[in-house]
Chain A
Amino acid sequence: MNMYRSHVLVCAGAGCISSECKSVQNALIENININGLSNEVKVVETGCMGPCDLGPVVMIFPDGVFYRKLKPEDTAEIVTEHLLKGKVVRRLLHQAGENSDQAVTFDQLDFFKRQTRIALRNTGIINPESIEEYIARNGYQALGKVLSKHSPQETIDFIKASGLRGRGGAGFPTGLKWEFTARAAAAPKYVVCNADEGDPGAFMDRSILEGDPHSVLEAMAICGYAIGAEKGYIYVRAEYPLAVERLEKAINKALEYGLLGKNIFSTCFNFDIEIRVGAGAFVCGEETALLASIEGKRGEPRPKPPFPAQEGLWGKPTVINNVETWASIPPIILNGPKWFSNIGTNTSKGTKVFALAGKINNTGLIEVPMGTPLREIIFDIGGGIPNGKRFKAVQTGGPSGGCIPEEYLDTPVDYDSLVKLGTIMGSGGMIIVDEDTCMVDLAKFFLEFVQEESCGKCAPCRIGTKRMLEILERIVEGKGKVGDIELLEELSQCIKTSALCGLGQTAPNPVLSTLRHFRDEYEAHIKEKRCPAGTCQALVAYYIDPKACKGCGLCSKNCPAEAISGEKKKPHVIDLTKCIKCGNCKDKCKFNAVFTS
């Protein structure tokens, strides 16, 4: 064994990759070599650690010191001061706010402190390309345990007793799904991993696949044993090439170690896994469309029942689960169902991964117990809204979900409480919007998305969402008519009840939900030709408040239309006939003197 006295973990999640973590890593290695530390210090590339907007981030063990926003130039100091002399480089530490203390180690960050990581237990901590590191963190123990100590039915009972519900959207009890498939008479049976992840703003599945691929493989094999299947498929979108590459490596390593393949753990259980790369159509995430796509057919949904548990892949009984669902399985087997069901709420057990995006300070990936209040997620872990703006709403469940306004921030987040508010958990994407977001425009964004992604098989979805979109477009352009809201509601109900698959059935939800909580914004657009958020271009006019204006001239410098004039140190004015409503002046003014009608 070769001992290292320090491990330097470099996050190579998607966020950090886009902030150039690679060059930081290379510079680190170079400096470690220059200082002759390469036999003492090990550099490990990990999957996403979570706090994406702080990237590139590095954690140094044994202490767990957390450095953020690193540049290649910073690495020399980290090596000579920290790694050589044991002195923390304070200027590279994270500080949450002006008045807060610097966090030295990662567990001093509110971001990490409040998390409970089950599905993400290894993501950001291990090298995803090393099966050895996975094994060292109890990897494949759960598979070994069920194969050598438990019957398939006992395995299913574990999952049932844990209360785990599917993390891919609908929240169906996972154990029950396995049991239905196990009991189905036909053979062979199949295990499928849904890694299509089409929701805008969601990236938890990607992070797990890229950061801890073996956890998914192990869980699929456990399910194969439980339901009597020998073959698994992972359906992953082509936009995730790194996930595909790491999965391939992981499968090969697992085969090499005899953890997949024939006679696993010397039993008569055989299991192997193939990857199928999807073209990245949102509807292909819908389970029946996904199965069709694996079979080589067009990725179009079909009516249910029969459910995949009865007639799935090639008409055979199939378990299809989401990536995060899979990643939760091995710890449940190892720690017992009680351990899991003690976390969370009455009807929603365990933890949920959320991807925080939009107008929030700490964008990134977090995992918290079910039932954690929204306020804690958005303000304590997420660090609140940037630039002193007001929180307006959070969109959950992506295009199938809806928004939650401020008055419900203390709601504990679980499957059922979200449904009560007119939205859904979905895959766990949370898009936070502030006072500058127009809710009609937000609804339009999601409707545009589903309209484009509709497979076109059924008329309500194909034509109905198009009609709805046209109405929304009219409203934001100031051409809304009295009666439009009612028409939207009528179309919504009709599409919800008559569309063939989940895509169409949920497509109207963002509209219905914004109507429920922000109806006055729709009315202001239609009746007063006014956009309360001041963002619908056709409806806003920009003005300068002469009392607040200091005459600094920054706005006129940044006005592309030369619409602003005024003497230095005197109030400026905007010529509305020249103004092209780009909003530059409002963004640039340091004195909040520019306002919109």
Chain B
Amino acid sequence: MKTLEELDSLREKLQADMKIREKNNNITVNVSMGTCGIAAGARETMKVLIEEISKQNLKDITLTQTGCTGSCQHEPLVEIKKGADKVTYIKVDRKKAREIVRRHLMEGKVVKEWTILD
């Protein structure tokens, strides 16, 4: 550690891993993981999301899971929340999951055709 700037940049890097323990996260990505979700492949979706988010080094994102949300026919469901805004993606397979990370989380564009209106 030679300078304060060096410490700062190290901290930034390390903080990404700790953000999860604070409650003021920017974006929450929620995978619905009821029995129906898991049967429809939500575990795979979750794994891909983790992979992609780590690979792209995205910060301020909380990835978490909920139980069945009641729309079993649309599983796997992925909900992305930022403040009051909520977008729900349906039938998210591996490919869609990867695209959602790229287009929604990185470029900030909602992929309309895969969503349902709440």
Contact = CB atoms under 8 A, between A and B. Distances in A.
A141 B54 contact: no
Nearest to B49: A5
A85 B34 contact: yes
13 contacts: A1-B17, A3-B63, A4-B17, A4-B20, A84-B65, A85-B34, A86-B33, A133-B14, A136-B11, A137-B18, A141-B8, A144-B3, A258-B2
B4 A145 contact: yes
Interface string B1-21: 111100110110111111011
Nearest to B12: A136
A85 B65 contact: yes
A87 B46 contact: no
B16 to A, nearest CB: 6
A1 B54 contact: yes
Interface in A204-229: none
A138 B33 contact: no
A61 B21 contact: yes
A2 interface: yes
Given A86-B67, A133-B14, A135-B11, A1 B46 contact: no
Contact of B14 (A2, A107, A135, A266): A135
A125 B21 contact: yes
A39 interface: yes
Interface string A123-163: 00110000011011110110011011000000000000000
A84 B32 CA distance: 10
Nearest to B37: A85
A528 interface: no
B50 A40 contact: yes
Closest 4 CB pairs of A and B: A86-B65, A3-B54, A136-B14, A144-B4
Contact of B20 (A2, A62, A126, A141): A62
A180 interface: no
A257 B3 CA distance: 12
Contact of A148 (B3, B23, B64): B3
A265 interface: yes
Contact of B11 (A6, A87, A138): A138
Given A3-B63, A9-B21, A86-B32, 17 more contacts: A1-B16, A1-B57, A3-B16, A3-B54, A5-B62, A40-B47, A62-B25, A62-B62, A62-B64, A85-B35, A86-B64, A86-B67, A135-B14, A136-B15, A136-B18, A141-B11, A147-B4
Nearest to B65: A86
A327 B53 CA distance: 35
B46 A40 contact: yes
B20 A39 contact: no
A266 to B, nearest CB: 5
Contacts of B10: 135
Interface in B37-53: 37-38, 46-47, 49-50, 53
B50 A136 contact: no
A258 B33 CA distance: 45
A316 interface: no
A259 interface: yes
Given A2-B54, A3-B54, A144-B4, A132 B14 contact: yes
A64 interface: yes
A7 interface: yes
A512 to B, nearest CB: 47
A145 B16 CA distance: 22
A5 B18 contact: no
Contacts of A73: none
B73 interface: no
Contacts of B71: none
Contact of A84 (B4, B25, B38): B38
